[in-house]
Amino acid sequence: MNAAEINDVRISEDRLTFDLADGRCISVPLAFYPTLFHASQEERQNFERYPFSVYWPDLDCDIGVEGMLQGAKELPIYAAKAEQRIRDSKAAA
């Protein structure tokens, strides 16, 4: 087992946390990932955990442990798509 493998994923209203196999806990503000930040609680909780990444199929969002370790934020193009999805849902309501 690689030390950077993800053992657990936790998502609160404002943080995304990965617990790693070597005992480290990585936590970043949810605002780093607008796709998750703007998602519903149900969408946030529907994820697939892989050894080195987590994928949210409803959001087509994938976050890797290496990116989190480096403090990488979501790319602007994906953030813009998340914001457009919010605008579209508000317009439809």
The 10s digit of each residue's pLDDT in 32-55 is 999 999 999 999 999 999 999 999
The 10s digit of each residue's pLDDT in 10-22 is 999 999 999 999 9
Do the beta carbons of residue 38 and residue 82 sit within 8 Å? Answer: yes
**What is the pLDDT at residue 48?**
98
Q: Which of 87, 33, 30 is nearest to 62 (CA)?
A: 33
**Which CATH number among 3.90.1710.10, 3.30.2020.40, 2.60.120.260, 3.90.1280.10 corresponds to the domain 6-92?**
3.30.2020.40
Domain segments of the chain as ranges: 6-92
pLDDT higher than 90, residue 92: no
Instruction: Specify the long-range contacts of residues 78-82, CB closer than 8 Å, at least 24 apart.
Output: 78/34, 78/35, 79/34, 79/35, 81/35, 82/34, 82/35, 82/37, 82/38, 82/39
